[in-house]
Structure 1
Amino acid sequence: MTPSQRRKDITSHVHATGKVDIEQLSEMFHVSPMTVRRDLVLLEQDGKLIRTHGGAVSPRSLTLETPFISKETKHVTEKRAISKKAVQMIPEGASILLDSGTTTLELARHLVNRKDLTVITNDINLASEMVNSALHVIVTGGDLQNNVGALLGAQTQEFLRSIHVDRFFLGAHAIDLHAGVTSPTLEKSMVKKLMMEAAEETWLLADSSKIHHKAFSKVCALQDLDGFITDDRVSKEEVRLIEQQVKTFFVEGG
């Protein structure tokens, strides 16, 4: 088999299965792992796949970043119900960390009448919602992600390493019942992980449309969370699998 044909077959296999690992491909095509790695580098350069640790995935199997304006108006009823429940998790005088996202944006909107909280966020959209409130609002700083509103980068990470808060409300781009919470980029996952490390408790806020999706970079397993608030538009089997892993509240989705 020529290298060109081998790479075509690797591409077909990745698209058919969603993901592959280097050892598997090495055995399948009777070549060394180093040869497979070189093939994966070339195929990634051509946009045929995305390399991961130990293998590769099909670009079609991943959920990509969505601009803020495209997702703000989706599943609004569910996001509002989730945020109302999340408010009940915030004790008086608490310090809380809000992740970037449209579900946490709804939570920020529910907090504007409170005066007893310190709220830290890495999202300029959330900060803007709280600008006329009596809340003590702190913005992490960092590099602005255009069309999304998130702040990322070295400055954001340095700030997060220097704080400690009572609650972190994590937003999710994609949730898989086995792979856990995933994010479109390594940089975004790093910020989310640092937020988790900075908090006594981490609660995931995400509507059920995020379930059964995967993105490129892993944030955490569901077992790593202290709680999960989602809507009730899930099957009995999904409820069972989720509750086996994390304390969960299923709010009425409207």
Structure 2
Amino acid sequence: MLPTERREKIIEKLEKEEFLELKYLHKSLDISMETLRRDVQQLVKEDLVSKEYGGIRIKKENNGESIIEKRLNKNLAMKQQIAEKALTQIEDGDCIFLDSGSTTLQISKELRKRKNLTIITNSIPVMMEILDQGHTIISIGGKVRASEQSITSYDFLFNFDRLNIDKAFICCSGISFEKGITDYNLEEIETRRKILNISNLKFLTADSSKCNQIVTVKICELTDIDTFITDNNLDNDFKVKMKKLSVNVL
């Protein structure tokens, strides 16, 4: 296993448990303590985890959310899988919405393989990525949220009722059968709700580490989306339950 893959697994475990003992990681990853200490040292250097007595804890913002720069390379292989699947759902000439998030940023990198798209987004990194791809870009106006490099203010969205959005690609931080689709920031959630209401097809794009997780605020019910696009590590039971709700899983 490559060092980056090991560190991704450590972060995945921490996102579920928040604190893990080093002796547990040593056994579960089947690596030497020396190798584990090097991985931990690198994660501390990247400001993703903090060391505590006997273990490590994932670092988060005061509201529990990690900023986008710290998430960009987390679960990167999974997000690239999602991006490749998402591209199969996008046709030349489509009008699409790309949410703010590290997963949709990976999708934006694939869009140079399509022609004449109209891309609506509230993500500054997505805008920068697609700027030279030859597509039409529409930015949602509003307040800039520095931590996520996004633009959020649903009061500015009323003119979007006039748009015919073919496909919306939405991100989240938690997916559960108890609470539906959840995230942290209320302003971004209101933007997502508005976009979902005016979009013909609704895609949830999230890696499998978000499954069975519940965070601060509910975006919508699972049944409000048409398709869940995720990586190849999704638990089969979760997939079966989603399909019972008539949600397509890619």
TM-score, shorter chain, exceeding 0.5:
yes
Larger C-alpha radius of gyration, 1 or 2?
Answer: 1
RMSD, matched Cα = 2.0
| Aligned 1:92-103 pairs, distance under 5 A | 92-103=92-103
Q: Deviations over 1:196-234 (max 9, x none)?
A: 012111011110011111122111111111111112323
Match of 1:150 in 2: 150
CA 1:116–1:241: 2 relative to 1, 3 Å: same
Contact 1:142 1:153 in 2 (8 A): yes
Match of 1:72 in 2: 72
Q: 1:237 deviation in Å?
A: 2.0
Q: 1:162 deviation in Å?
A: 4.1
Match of 2:106 in 1: 106
CA 1:95–1:144: 2 relative to 1, 3 Å: same
Q: 1:235 deviation in Å?
A: 2.6
| Aligned 1:1-254 pairs, distance under 5 A | 64-250=64-250
Contact 2:183 2:218 in 1 (8 A): yes
The one-letter code of the counterpart of 1:83 is A
Contact 1:156 1:191 in 2 (8 A): no
The one-letter code of the counterpart of 1:119 is I
Alpha-carbon distance in 2 for matches of 1:133, 1:165: 19
Contact 2:243 2:249 in 1 (8 A): no
CA 1:232–1:154: 2 relative to 1, 3 Å: closer
Contact 1:103 1:206 in 2 (8 A): yes
The one-letter code of the counterpart of 1:200 is N
Gap runs ≥5 in structure 2: 1-62
Q: 1:154 deviation in Å?
A: 4.3
Q: 1:155 deviation in Å?
A: 4.9
Q: 1:193 deviation in Å?
A: 0.3
Alpha-carbon distance in 2 for matches of 1:94, 1:228: 19
CA 1:90–1:249: 2 relative to 1, 3 Å: same
Alpha-carbon distance in 2 for matches of 1:101, 1:175: 15
Gap runs ≥5 in structure 1: 1-62
Contact 1:223 1:245 in 2 (8 A): yes
User: Any idea what SS the aligned residue of 1:232 has?
Assistant: coil
Alpha-carbon distance in 1 for matches of 2:166, 2:216: 29
Q: 1:152 deviation in Å?
A: 0.4
| Identity between Structure 1 and Structure 2 (%) | 27
Q: 1:186 deviation in Å?
A: 2.2
Q: 1:91 deviation in Å?
A: 2.3
The one-letter code of the counterpart of 1:93 is G
Q: Deviations over 1:53-95 (max 9, x none)?
A: xxxxxxxxxx832201110001111111111111111122110
Contact 1:117 1:135 in 2 (8 A): yes
CA 1:71–1:154: 2 relative to 1, 3 Å: same
Deviating more after overlay: 177-186 vs 147-156: 147-156
Match of 1:17 in 2: none
Q: 1:240 deviation in Å?
A: 1.9
CA 1:143–1:159: 2 relative to 1, 3 Å: farther
The one-letter code of the counterpart of 1:188 is E
Deviating more after overlay: 149-158 vs 105-114: 149-158
User: Any idea what SS the aligned residue of 1:147 has?
Assistant: helix
CA 1:248–1:232: 2 relative to 1, 3 Å: farther
Contact 1:140 1:159 in 2 (8 A): no
